[in-house]
Chains A and B, each alone.
Chain A
Amino acid sequence: MIDVDVTQRLGDFRLDVAFQADAPIVGLFGRSGSGKTSLVNALAGITRPLRGRIVVNGETLFDSERGIDLPPERRRLGYVFQDDLLFPHLHVEANLLYGYHRAPSSSRVIEPGHIIELLGLRRLLQRLPDALSGGEKQRIAIGRALLAQPRLLLMDEPLASLDLPRRDEVLRYIELLRDDLAIPIVYVSHSIVEITRLSDTVVLLSEGKAIAVGEVDEVMGRHDLRPQTGRYEAGAVIDTVVGDHDLEYGLTTLRFDGGELIVPNVEALVGERVRVRIRARDVSLSLARPAGLSIVNVLPATLVAIDDDGGPIVEVEVRIGDTALQARITRRSCVQLGLEEGQRVHALIKAVSLDRRSVGYA
């Protein structure tokens, strides 16, 4: 449980954020300059707010009225930065144990051996940070933060300085430790892909204010927040369960409330929960059920809303059972098909548009 209400002035920028969130992973989402890092720095005790209150799991870390302002070393919030910031003069093992040795022995719940196995660091222990890849370094930085026995893990764009394959690697490990360790995480990113894949609750920041707090699919699906969440990346987030695997063609069937989705091989066991993000531009609409088509996902749906701002592109919201889905189509198609609210349509989703980056373990 995170309860934040802080005001801070940094030059011309004013941070004025208040929200409460209780979820395994809270996503802090916003454009660059929206105040994400400033907020995390205030949480960690690196900067000091003008006024306000920061409470994590019932522990007051900062309260201007009661004169409480714990220094960073007593807040016990693990902080993982965009750059790994490993200590260059210490080998991997000493880096990992830096915080562990500082934590009171009574609070040592997370053991080095466990983290080393979990993050696959065994063979790196005696190496120096200079000799490692970006993904390895970031994994060590995460392990180091965890071994300091934090009550909460702050991750500020932990993937931003990695190349694409490394991002996927580290993302997998983050999902792994979320499931394994049950430490709440505040995950900061300007990438809607990462936020929707990882977080349960999302806090949307804009110009130093929290303009929306809620379930990730709810916030990301809201039309009025498009300027902040981004029109290009608009889409829906669907929680699904792995139905079965088609080994011959390497396809996986995902079941959700309202239907089934067929996607390229998902590395998850049958029955596991998996979250899929479907971008609006990957969804087409058809009035009749089409035949002779390469598109494998054809889902009957009800048209709920048409967002037409007069431009060449309109955004159409449909419902499949209780699940909302967005489609981006040209205004011409919308007019020619005579689409209107309440109509029965078919949503077409190319299986290949749902690649590994849009499917994650929920």
Chain B
Amino acid sequence: MSLTPDELVTILLSLKVAIVSVVFSLPVAIGIAYVLARFEFPGKTLLDALVHLPLVLPPVVVGFALLALFGRHGPIGAWLEDWFGIVFAFRWTGAALAAAIMGFPLMVRAIRLSFSAIDRRLETVARTLGGSRIWVFVSVTLPLALPGLITGIVLSFARSLGEFGATITFVANIPGETQTLPLAIYTYIQTPSGDLQALRLSVIAVVLSVAALIAAEWIARRKPLLHGSRS
């Protein structure tokens, strides 16, 4: 089965949206997961709830909230456009933002669990061996949290590939710009005699998801190579 140009555009857009959403949400997720795993502070429960909100809210509501906040007339959207020229509304960047928000709780949960499972005395030893806080985080905490990082990335990547409700609400369904795989499948199902195309895209979606899982497994297996890293 060879891909049509339209299908190729859709696949590449979906991958771009998913990759960009993961790359930009990962550092934030690591930061928030670390804070939630290691510190007690007033408002912790609130932060925790806020992170989990996309998991429990109907995606349409998240999309609507994004539209209200990040739309061209929304408070954040207008500010970003004025100062940085960044526009989310009805752009592929908006699709990436929606995907990042929807995948965020999954990512934070996985990474936070990994941080909590680390024996903190290992970090203490590393400090007594002369490692600064930041160096200890980079050389001990992060590598030990690697399984959680990989899980978080895969879950969030898969969630991004499948994102539908928030995306279509926030950035609509524009072929070549915001029409990711699920949106394209939805469009074909709505079209008379579009079933075959819908089926073809569905198979592609399955292949992509399975490939992501296999890639994650492969990275996890390669992990022992990290043991050789110096210092």
A-side residues, CB < 8 A to B, are 44-46, 71-79, 81, 83, 85, 87-91, 94, 97-99, 101-103, 128, 144-145, 148
A89 and B127 contacting across the interface, CB-CB below 8 Å: no
Closest to B230 in A: A94
Cβ of B222 under 8 Å from chain A: no
State the CA gap A71–B127 with chains docked (Å): 8
From B121, B139, B226, B231, A85 is in contact (CB under 8 Å) with: B121
A94 and B130 contacting across the interface, CB-CB below 8 Å: no
B227 and A94 contacting across the interface, CB-CB below 8 Å: yes
Cβ of B214 under 8 Å from chain A: no
Contact string against A for B residues 187-231, beta-carbon threshold 8 Å, 1 for contact and 0 otherwise: 000000000000000000000000000000000000010111111
From A71, A83, A89, A145, B129 is in contact (CB under 8 Å) with: A145
A79 and B125 contacting across the interface, CB-CB below 8 Å: yes
A98 and B119 contacting across the interface, CB-CB below 8 Å: no
Query: With A76-B130, A78-B128, A79-B128 given, is the CB distance from A97 to B140 under 8 Å?
Result: no
State the CA gap A101–B129 with chains docked (Å): 10
- Contacts A77-B128, A98-B231 given; 10 further ones with Cβ under 8 A? A45-B127, A72-B124, A78-B128, A87-B144, A91-B227, A99-B131, A103-B130, A128-B227, A145-B128, A148-B128
B129 and A85 contacting across the interface, CB-CB below 8 Å: no
- B124 vs chain A, min Cβ distance (A): 6
Cβ of B122 under 8 Å from chain A: yes
With a CB–CB cut-off of 8 A, which chain B residues contact A89? Answer: 143-144, 146, 226-227
A90 and B124 contacting across the interface, CB-CB below 8 Å: no
With a CB–CB cut-off of 8 A, which chain B residues contact A75? Answer: 128
With a CB–CB cut-off of 8 A, which chain A residues contact B146? Answer: 89
Contact string against A for B residues 16-48, beta-carbon threshold 8 Å, 1 for contact and 0 otherwise: 000000000000000000000000000000000
Closest to A104 in B: B130
B125 and A94 contacting across the interface, CB-CB below 8 Å: no
With a CB–CB cut-off of 8 A, which chain A residues contact B226? Answer: 89
Closest to B140 in A: A87
- B120 vs chain A, min Cβ distance (A): 10
B132 and A73 contacting across the interface, CB-CB below 8 Å: yes
Query: With A88-B144, A98-B126, A99-B129 given, is the CB distance from A81 to B228 under 8 Å?
Result: no
B-side residues, CB < 8 A to A, are 119, 121-122, 124-132, 135, 139-140, 143-144, 146, 224, 226-231
Question: What are 18 A-B interface contacts by the 8 Å CB criterion?
Answer: A46-B124, A46-B128, A71-B127, A73-B131, A74-B130, A75-B128, A79-B125, A79-B128, A85-B125, A87-B126, A89-B227, A98-B126, A98-B131, A99-B129, A102-B131, A103-B130, A128-B224, A145-B129
With a CB–CB cut-off of 8 A, which chain B residues contact A74? Answer: 130
State the CA gap A75–B140 with chains docked (Å): 20
Closest to A150 in B: B128
From B127, B129, B144, B229, A94 is in contact (CB under 8 Å) with: B229
- A48 vs chain B, min Cβ distance (A): 13
From B119, B122, B128, B231, A73 is in contact (CB under 8 Å) with: B128
State the CA gap A215–B128 with chains docked (Å): 29
A148 and B130 contacting across the interface, CB-CB below 8 Å: yes
B130 and A91 contacting across the interface, CB-CB below 8 Å: no
Among A46, A83, A89, which residue has the most Cβ atoms of chain B within 10 A? A89
Going nearest first, the 4 A-B pairs with the smallest beta carbon separation are A99-B129, A102-B130, A72-B127, A101-B231
With a CB–CB cut-off of 8 A, which chain A residues contact B121? Answer: 81, 83, 85
Query: With A81-B121, A85-B119, A87-B122 given, is the CB distance from A102 to B227 under 8 Å?
Result: no
A97 and B231 contacting across the interface, CB-CB below 8 Å: yes
With a CB–CB cut-off of 8 A, which chain B residues contact A103? Answer: 130
Closest to B143 in A: A89
With a CB–CB cut-off of 8 A, which chain A residues contact B144? Answer: 87-89
Closest to A148 in B: B129
State the CA gap A103–B229 with chains docked (Å): 18
B227 and A90 contacting across the interface, CB-CB below 8 Å: yes
- B11 vs chain A, min Cβ distance (A): 36
Closest to A72 in B: B127
Among A44, A78, A87, which residue has the most Cβ atoms of chain B within 10 A? A87
- B231 vs chain A, min Cβ distance (A): 4
With a CB–CB cut-off of 8 A, which chain B residues contact A85? Answer: 119, 121-122, 125
B125 and A73 contacting across the interface, CB-CB below 8 Å: no
Closest to B119 in A: A85
State the CA gap A200–B224 with chains docked (Å): 44
A91 and B228 contacting across the interface, CB-CB below 8 Å: yes
B230 and A97 contacting across the interface, CB-CB below 8 Å: yes
Closest to B142 in A: A89
A94 and B126 contacting across the interface, CB-CB below 8 Å: no
B127 and A98 contacting across the interface, CB-CB below 8 Å: no
A101 and B230 contacting across the interface, CB-CB below 8 Å: yes
- A38 vs chain B, min Cβ distance (A): 14
With a CB–CB cut-off of 8 A, which chain B residues contact A73? Answer: 127-132
With a CB–CB cut-off of 8 A, which chain B residues contact A90? Answer: 227, 229
Among B124, B126, B129, B226, which residue has the most Cβ atoms of chain A within 10 A? B129
With a CB–CB cut-off of 8 A, which chain B residues contact A71? Answer: 127, 132
Among B121, B127, B140, B144, which residue has the most Cβ atoms of chain A within 10 A? B127
Closest to A76 in B: B130
- B141 vs chain A, min Cβ distance (A): 11
State the CA gap A79–B131 with chains docked (Å): 13
Closest to B229 in A: A94
- A139 vs chain B, min Cβ distance (A): 15
- B142 vs chain A, min Cβ distance (A): 10
